[in-house]
Structure 1
Amino acid sequence: MFHRKPLEERIAERVAKRPPLKEGKHFEHRPALIVFCVIMVLVALKIVGAFVLMKWGIT
């Protein structure tokens, strides 16, 4: 209708243009690393907070 390629083809072309992932690198781009770190910090804070509450006898 609009003379555009299907979404799947456009995504496949964009992925094919990317350089290969470097050896030993786990995250392709910085935002993924930041989101992962934020989630890990929140999980750690939740666990530490639960232990603190148990120590104080609140729960």
Structure 2
Amino acid sequence: MSGPGRRGRPDGSKGSPLFGRKPIEERLAERRAQLPPLKEGEHFEHGPAKFIFIFLIVFVVVAHLIGLVVLMALDLN
């Protein structure tokens, strides 16, 4: 990312010139590569997404049951 007004590192490498660390993308990729492979069907990667998914399914089922009870109570024939 060199350009007018920006100085690159003397060795031409990327990373933080202040701390000498690798970019966050490289550090995340290395950490991810050390993890064991995921087991098929035993892992839901995003906990909050799992919570929302289950909540929505339960909400739809309960809403349908309430609607059924209301329609049965009205007895529209």
Q: Could you say whether these structures have the same fold, taking a TM-score greater than 0.5 normalized by the shorter chain as the test? A: yes
Matches within 5 A, 1:2-17: 17=32
Q: Under a length normalisation based on structure 2, what TM-score does the superposition of the two structures give? A: 0.46
Report the counterpart of residue 27 of structure 1 in structure 2.
44
Question: 1 or 2 for the larger relative contact order (CA 8 Å, sep ≥6)?
Answer: 1
CA gap 1:49/1:26 in 2 versus in 1, 3 angstroms? farther
Matched, 1:56 2:73: yes
Output the CA distance in 2 between the equivalents of 1:48 and 1:26. 31
CA root-mean-square deviation: 3.4
Identical pairs, percent? 33
Q: Under a length normalisation based on structure 1, what TM-score does the superposition of the two structures give? A: 0.57
Q: Structure 1 unaligned runs (5+)? A: 3-9
Shift of residue 25 of structure 1?
A: 3.0
Report the structure number with the largest CA radius of gyration.
Answer: 2
Aligned residues: 51
Q: Structure 2 unaligned runs (5+)? A: 7-24
User: 43, 47, 52: which one pairs with 2:64?
Assistant: 47
Shift of residue 28 of structure 1?
A: 1.0
